[in-house]
Structure 1
């Protein structure tokens, strides 16, 4: 299994204000711009990303995680997490927007969304 990208998740109550900071001040560009949800990327390095979500995000579960990690093989990651006895916070799920994912809790309490895009 290889890691394709890791994306921190920022929770906000004011998406417009957050957009002003991340886009206006830091210079990120929107890769996805949905009601209540932004996936922002660096204009120079597209895999340098941040997710910003407010309480109205279409993917309500995004606010339950601290970081999202895209892997090459989510099935392998899920099996490994189970073998290690890690706490699965959200079971393996095929989401309607084209990803397969699960959430796992790291020993420090961080909740990680582990996902792959479906073929």
Structure 2
């Protein structure tokens, strides 16, 4: 299993203001579902940051997202380790398969793969 990207998720009600602020640093909007917006660097597209009002299909807002090449293997590794699964593995309507797990610092990590 390999990591494709890591994205901090910032809980925010100021999407427009964040888009403008981070735009000054070279970020551009690459995804916007209304409740989550992701900005990426034009020169380095894997450099991203997301802003969320709340997670639409999960009970908590994750602190970060980690995209992996095999989300099922990641889920099995976390489950087998005894890590706390906060949100079960599931397919989402926007094209990702994901689950949430709590890290040793209490942070919630959204582990995902694109279908």
Q: Deviations along 1:64-91, whole A, 9 cap, x unmatched?
A: 1000000010110011001110000000
1:4 aligns with 2:1: no
1:38 to 1:67, Cα distance in 2 relative to 1, 3 A: same
Higher helix share goes to which structure? 1
Q: Which residue of 2 aligns with 1:67?
A: 64
Q: Choose 7-16 or 101-110, whichever is displaced more.
A: 7-16
Structure 2: tracts of 5 or more residues without a match = none
Q: How far did residue 3 of structure 1 move?
A: 0.2
**Which residue of 90, 93, 98 corresponds with 2:95?**
98
Q: Choose 82-91 or 25-34, whichever is displaced more.
A: 25-34
CA distance in 1, matches of 2:110, 2:87: 9
1:84 to 1:64, Cα distance in 2 relative to 1, 3 A: same
CA distance in 2, matches of 1:83, 1:35: 35
CA distance in 2, matches of 1:48, 1:36: 20
Aligned residue-pair number: 115
CA distance in 2, matches of 1:62, 1:17: 26
CA RMSD of aligned residues (A): 1.7
Q: Choose 34-43 or 61-70, whichever is displaced more.
A: 61-70
State TM-score, norm by structure 2. Answer: 0.91
CA distance in 1, matches of 2:98, 2:14: 27
Q: Deviations along 1:33-81, whole A, 9 cap, x unmatched?
A: 33232111011110011111225x7x35496100000001011001100
